Amino acid sequence: MNNLRTEFSIKDLENLSGIKAHTIRIWEKRYNLFQPKRTGTNIRYYSTESLQKILNVAFLNNNGYKISKISRLNNQDISSLVKEVAAKDLYKDDHSISALKLAMLTFDQHLFSKTYNELLSKKTFKEIFYDAFLPLLNEIGLLWQTGTITPAHEHFISTRIKQKILLNIEKTQDKEKNNCKKTFVFFLPENEIHDIGLLFINYKLINRGYETLFLGQSIPTDNLKDLLKFYNEIIFISYFTVKPDKEHLTNYLEDFYQKLLKDKPNELWILGYMLEHLDYDNIPEKIIPFLSIEKLVNKLQN
């Protein structure tokens, strides 16, 4: 436990809570909500307890409680009120997301499991993924860029989310197959490792009885050609988070089309941040971009 991070800057608190540093300082001076400590070189920092408190205070403030009222409560009463407010509306997940952030920052496996199990008592796994995991994952990029978290934090939380997806995939493996003759092949291009989105889509398709094949991270296009010997109609699904980069995106898609789609009944469905750099008017045929996981999954209902 001595290796866990226990000191946070006011900028960290701002990035994690969404409350501006200027506002945190006002709350600190006017209402004595937080008591920052100082290093030997007189630099202010905040403890894990202060981080947890700002997350709780931000949650209550966002749900209509005035800061003047919150400031009159002790830490235990604030925590109790947060639980009470969160319990009233099952679809306000700010509190759960804050708990998952805290688990990530302190590498607290018990807190992650406790938060997940609390969510599972009132939501389906699909709802947990869309309402809690996905918003958290969307924030992680910003937190990493601002130096609030390290790759170790990202890997910690990503690994645990993957474990939950894989657990739910295992539960659905014996699902009765539907009559669709397509095979859905999940892969990431070379040097791309962000596969949580693909894992969840794979789970959704298996749950609906589709035939899927999950290949995972960093697959060269040429390696996919072997699949053409075994499957007559393939829907390739990929997620472009950082690769291929914007300079190579167009060439990658054209190469993929020539090798795997041209004159074949196959398609490539793509998602991810790199699609922001895509020229939609010049995409090769049979390549279909999706703006969200939900939109892709919904297409299968049409």
Classified as helix, coil or strand, 41 is: coil
Q: Are 244 and 189 in contact (CB under 8 A)?
A: yes
Q: What is the pTM of this model?
A: 0.73
Other CB atoms closer than 10 Å to residue 212's CB: what's the count? 18
Q: Are 233 and 265 in contact (CB under 8 A)?
A: yes
Tell me the Cα Rg of the chain.
23
Same domain, 184 and 283: yes
Integer Cα distance of 205 and 301 in angstroms:
11
Same domain, 211 and 285: yes
Same domain, 271 and 206: yes
Same domain, 190 and 258: yes
Same domain, 182 and 283: yes
CATH number at residue 103: 1.10.1240
CA-CA distances (angstroms) from residue 291 to 34, 61, 136, 212, 274? 41, 32, 18, 21, 11
Same domain, 281 and 212: yes
Integer Cα distance of 86 and 100 in angstroms:
14
157: left (phi over 0), alpha (psi -120 to 50) or beta: alpha
Helices and strands in the chain, H and E counts: 14, 7
Same domain, 253 and 179: yes
Same domain, 179 and 274: yes
Q: Are 189 and 252 in contact (CB under 8 A)?
A: yes
CATH number at residue 58: 1.10.1660.10
Last residue of a domain, one of 110, 143, 172: 172
How many domains does the chain divide into?
3
- What's residue 238's pLDDT? 96
CATH number at residue 220: 3.40.50.280
Structure tokens at 249: 């995106």
Same domain, 150 and 191: no
Q: Are 247 and 216 in contact (CB under 8 A)?
A: no
- What's residue 223's pLDDT? 95
For residue 30, the enclosing domain spans: 1-85
Same domain, 12 and 31: yes
Integer Cα distance of 187 and 146 in angstroms:
29
Same domain, 252 and 271: yes
- What's residue 91's pLDDT? 43
Last residue of a domain, one of 172, 194, 224: 172
CA-CA distances (angstroms) from residue 231 to 214, 225, 228? 14, 11, 6
Classified as helix, coil or strand, 268 is: strand
Same domain, 237 and 276: yes
**Concatenated DSSP letters of 226-284:** GGGGT-SSEEEEEE-SSSS-TTTHHHHHHHHIIIIITTSS-EEEEESGGGGG--GGGPP
* N-terminal to C-terminal alpha carbon distance within the chain: 51
pLDDT in tens, the chain (302 residues): 344 567 788 888 888 888 899 999 999 888 888 888 888 888 888 888 888 888 888 888 888 889 999 988 988 888 888 777 766 654 456 778 888 988 888 888 999 999 999 899 889 999 999 989 988 888 776 676 566 778 888 889 999 999 999 999 988 877 777 778 899 999 999 988 888 999 999 999 998 889 999 999 999 999 999 999 999 999 999 999 888 888 899 999 999 999 999 999 999 999 988 888 888 888 888 999 998 888 898 887 65
Classified as helix, coil or strand, 143 is: helix
Last residue of a domain, one of 145, 172, 199: 172
- What's residue 93's pLDDT? 65
